[in-house]
Amino acid sequence: MNKLLQAEFGFQVLEIKKLDGYDNANYLIKTDRNKYIFKTYKFDEELIDLIKSENKTLLFLQKTDKGKYPEPVQFIDKSYLKIIDIDGEKCICRMLTFLEGDFLGDIKHTKTVFQSFGVFLAETDLKLQNFKSYTIMSRQWEWDIQYADLNKKYLNDIANLKDRTIAIYFLQQFEEIVRPMLPQLRKQIIHNDANEWNVLIKNGKISGLIDFGDLAYSPLINELAIAITYACYDKENPIEWASILIKAYNSKLPIKENELKVLYYLIAIRLVISVCNSAHSKKIDPKNSYASSSEKLAWKMLNYWLTINPIKAENQFRAAIGLSVKEPKFIEDVTKKRQQYISPIVSLSYDKPIYMVRSAFQYMYDAFGNSYLDAYNNIPHVGHAHPKVVEVGQRQMAKLNTNTRYLYDQIADYAEKLLSKFPETLSKVYFVNSGSAASDLAIRIAKIHTDHEKLMVMEHGYHGHTQTATDISDYKFNNPKGQGQKNYIIKTQIPDTYRGKYTTKDNNPGRKYAEETIEQIDNSNMPIAAFISEPIVGCAGQVPLASGYLKEIYPAIRKQGGICISDEVQTGFGRLGDYFWGFEAHDVVPDIVIIGKPMANGHPMGAVICTDEIAKSFSQGVEFFSSFGGNPVSCAIASAVLDVIEDEKLQENAKMVGDFYKTLFLELQNKYNCIGDVRGSGLFLGIEIVKENHTEPNTELANHIKNELRHRNILISTDGPFDNVIKTKPAMIFTKKDAKKVVETIEEVLKVYYSKVHKS
């Protein structure tokens, strides 16, 4: 190397030090005159043109600012680039001046430094506005944000599936929100890589910018997005630090409103590009630590970015440059319009309703810029806007959606996949559009199969909103405003071992409850067609049926000619952690199972699963037809949900996180007498709030906790006959960190509540 440098440049070399590099070899050269950077690249015809363009860019910048950017150094023959054999390999070689200074990544960040950075970057971009290079303008590659989709080929190199899913989510958001706006954004040649190891600082101010190898003709705002990404990805409050950069940049080069509108997503995509390329580099060259040096920080910021409402980010970016915050419609106006067309009987949650506009995984975003941790909404079973579910739905919708009278693969394929999750005896499925429709159909099937009319239902049970579903839902018909109990309905008491007649203090309470229910069965003046219950009764306040109860009831129902129906709308699909279906926890196999809500992650779908024998009976009557029950789109989405549950091991996650979550609540119960009971399984828990030192329901405190959590941006709900049970049934991707946040926030609420009570 010494001889080469002396021959090509006439240098008297004192020291050569190899530097870290992403995909080329760089050397720090100390000579008797100065320091230089000698850069070598594997030979590539297209790369030659790009390096020539990079040299031209640097020479252009030297016209007005020597010393701020590296300057190409001529070989002895006056050229700026040569093809040289190094160790038997043909290489492209060039020399640049060395810039002194500390790296931005090595110094303590201050507001002054960030202001200097923003100004320096804007001044650089102002100069580059007057530079043209058709080679750079024609470049399309992975590190240019506008071509983010080129990184999709690296997604499978991200080993952790949860991480990969987050990357895919932001790529989808980019396609939906940014891609349509790209033609409207200002474009020019930009540096495209102002990361913390390419920015130099002297005397507390930015003094230089190096490594122009990523030059791109790209939307101007991408320059700022990249700078923000690397300057802020180690910060606890990146939005605040980003605002300093934005304000400073804007002071020299004004930013347009449409550029701020997409900035949140551009930052996210730069992070995605970074982690995709890091994962790929690790795969092809595990020894190259430089390529993955920023990976941990990038993932940290991507996860944090999900917690930020995009509206909040945009508004803070707008405020940084003096633009007014975008005001949403007033809650009162939105509510008024809703009630103009939608009856108030369709109720809203919370004392102050929430105006939602977007969601992602376990987060929901309102129109005012707030982010909410959703610890309640079990319908998006695998997470809000899960990218695999979204993608499958979009693709199938663009391909085929039709009614069920035609042949198509999706219905049978999904039926096969779904039924594989059930015992062999449950082998036929009828698809409908909701859990309510499934309840309705299940009762119809039961009556036809048994030729009986009477039905036994569970106290506080809820099975839907159709007429039949209301008839069998004590939660509905026993409401003071309800229709009352129909003559063909027998209601049995809920085997509640906390608040019921027989509790955990009794010996074998499940059998005692069962004996009383069996007495009702025996005393019925007509045979019972079906017994229907949830394994954990949600509207009762997440009350698990007493252990051993169903083992006694199912045989008694069958003995007199009836069938047993398990409503798994809320408890199914792995939510309970130890079991995929709730009935498995009771060591029974029902004759009919009802599912809905989460089976297609919120897409309207439900199903009735039954035995061959029952299906044969039903087929003797009038044909069953559901126009869209089991349509291709619904089946494709539901199939994707099953894949995600399996691929991401969400049942195992429900078990692990649910056990941890429950333990935290039990620990809280030891501190506060207002927590009477903690029950449930997996990510389906109920926390009964009572008046201190006894079991009397404390509805007021339960609702206070619910609404206080809402004000602290956590969504949770209350239920039970006294509306005093905190219920939490979050998406299956819920984490231990999320669980800890919920319980710690409840404790904060209780501390404040009791401090006020004691003062009064």
433-470 residue pLDDT tens: 999 999 999 999 999 999 999 999 999 999 999 999 99
Range of lowest pLDDT (19-28, 138-147, 232-241, 626-635) = 19-28
**Average pLDDT for 172-196:** 97
DSSP state of 351: S
Residues paired with residue 684 on neighbouring β-strands, in sequence order? 681
**Contact of 131 with 57, CB cutoff 8 Å:** yes
CA-to-CA distance for 568 and 582, rounded, in angstroms? Answer: 7
Flag whether pLDDT at 691 surpasses 70: yes
Of the pLDDT bands very low, low, confident and very high (cuts 50, 70, 90), residue 352 is confident
pLDDT band, residue 46 (cuts 50/70/90)? confident
CB 608 within 8 A of CB 426: no
Side chain identity, residue 551: K
pLDDT band at 632 (very low <50, low <70, confident <90, very high): very high
160/75 Cα distance (integer angstroms) = 47
Residue 290 half-sphere exposure toward CB, CA atoms < 13 A: 10
Residue 88, Ramachandran bin (φ over 0: left; ψ between -120 and 50: alpha; else beta)? left
Tell me the pLDDT band of 289, cut-offs 50, 70 and 90.
low
Confidence band of 534 (pLDDT split at 50, 70, 90):
very high
What is the C-alpha to C-alpha distance for residues 521 and 559, in angstroms, rounded to an integer? 10
Q: Is the pLDDT of residue 353 over 80?
A: yes
CATH architecture observed for domain 338-382+650-759: Alpha-Beta Complex (3.90)
Compute the average pLDDT of residues 612-631: 92
Average pLDDT in the chain: 95
Instruction: Answer yes or no: is pLDDT of 288 > 70.
Output: no
Span 260-278, average pLDDT: 97
State the pLDDT at residue 709.
Answer: 97
Span 666-690, average pLDDT: 97
The closest of 380, 467, 428 to 608, measured between CA atoms, is: 428
How distant, in Å, are the alpha carbons of 126, 210, 228 from that of 249? 11, 19, 11
Which of 11-20, 31-40, 381-390 comes out lowest in average pLDDT?
Answer: 11-20
CATH number of 2-97: 3.30.200.20
Q: Which residue has the tokens 């993932």?
A: 299
Q: 53: which 2 tokens?
A: 């363009």
Classify domain 404-646 by CATH number: 3.40.640.10
Predicted local confidence at residue 13, as pLDDT: 84
Note the pLDDT of residue 290.
61
- What gap in Å lies between CA 417 and CA 395, rounded to an integer? 20
Nearest to 280 by CA among 158, 458, 406, 414: 158
pLDDT-derived band at 297 (thresholds 50, 70, 90) equals very high
Give the pLDDT of residue 64: 86
DSSP letter, residue 599: G
Burial (CB < 10 A; 0-12, 13-18, 19+), residue 63, is exposed
pLDDT at 279: 94
Q: How many CB atoms lie within 10 A of CB 558?
A: 13
* Per-residue pLDDT tens over the stretch 92-125: 999 999 999 999 999 999 999 999 999 999 999 9
Span 357-372, average pLDDT: 97
Give the model's pLDDT for residue 86.
Answer: 86
Handedness of CA 646, 652, 658, 664 (dihedral sign): negative
Residue ranges covered by each domain of the chain = 2-97, 102-320, 338-382+650-759, 404-646
In the chain, % of residues over pLDDT 90:
86
What mean pLDDT do residues 705-714 have? Answer: 96
Q: Is the pLDDT of residue 291 over 70?
A: no
What confidence score (pLDDT) does residue 1 get?
74
pLDDT value at 608 more than 60: yes
- Could you tell me the CA-to-CA distances from 682 to 10, 14, 384, 658, 706 in Å, in that order? 73, 67, 19, 4, 21
pLDDT for 758 equals 74
pLDDT tier at 731, thresholds 50, 70, 90: very high
**Does 614 have pLDDT greater than 80?**
yes
User: With contact defined as beta carbons under 8 Å apart, do 531 and 550 qualify?
Assistant: no
Residue with token string 């906390």: 498
For residue range 76-93, list pLDDT tens digits in order.
999 999 999 888 889 999
The residue among 623, 483, 495, 612 whose CA lies nearest residue 548 is 495
pTM: 0.94
Strands 528-533 and 563-567: parallel
Say what angle helices 632-647 and 409-419 make with each other, to 10 degrees.
Answer: 40
**What secondary structure does DSSP assign to 471-531, as a single string?**
HT-HHHHTSTTS----TTEEEE----TTTSSS-TTSSSHHHHHHHHHHHHHHH-SS-EEEE
pLDDT at 21 over 70: no
Judged by phi (left if over 0) then psi (alpha if -120 to 50, else beta), residue 224 lies in: alpha
Q: How confident is the model at residue 292 (pLDDT cuts 50, 70, 90)?
A: low
Average pLDDT over residues 386-412: 96
Sheet strand arrangement including 199-202? 102-103, 199-202, 205-209
Q: Give CATH for domain 102-320.
A: 3.90.1200.10
